[in-house]
Amino acid sequence: MSNSRKRFSAGEVWQYYEKNFLGGWSFPNGDETVTIVDAYRDLVYDRFKAGFTEKTILTLKEKQLPMVVGSELSAIISAVVGSDQPVNWIGKRIVVGTKLKKDRETKEMRPVIVVRMVKPSEEITRRASAEQVSQIRALIESGVIKSESAMCKFFGVSKIEDLSPENAADIIAKKGEQK
């Protein structure tokens, strides 16, 4: 039996990925905005096909290891950056995070990489005013906004203070109507 058809155990595959690629364990602090500096195709071991398959690989400026991108992540990145051609992703910024997903083979919950459906701001140069922040905090305290962290994730920021003035105004206008 050739080495390319050997069936590796789930543990062996996770060790292979941990050593060679980014994974859910690579983002312990939650969502990160990263810059794509290279995109190419290469063979990666696929335990469900018991062999190597061609996948898109991304090199990220902020990380040492490359990131394997399957069809699901490719579709999200394409939507965020506006191109389905990985070569056009170079230089673009994306928000990457993790979620827990049940492993099909072992049934264990494992962290996996996700790409958020938000366009990260190039730089946060304009922030919500102190008045806007206090209005949003009041909406959270009154229960109109259910989750501060979910709202921040939706807008691709880590805290309310990092919202743009326009996003803050939209939140106050739309959620203020629900009061």
CB of 53 within 8 A of CB of 46?
A: yes
In tens, the pLDDT along 16-61 reads 677 788 888 788 777 888 999 999 998 887 777 777 888 899 999 9
Degrees, nearest 5: CA angle 150-90-21: 70
* Cβ-based neighbour number of residue 89 at 10 Å: 24
Q: Is 131 exposed, middle or buried (0-12, 13-18, 19+ CB in 10 A)?
A: exposed
CA–chain centroid gap for 155, Å, is 13
The domains of the chain are located at: 3-115, 130-178
In tens, the pLDDT along 83-125 reads 999 999 998 999 998 888 887 777 888 788 889 887 776 544 5
Greater confidence, 28 or 13? 28
Greater confidence, 77 or 47? 77
Q: pTM for this one?
A: 0.59
> What is the percentage of the chain residues whose pLDDT exceeds 70?
83
Q: Residue 21: its pLDDT value, please? A: 87
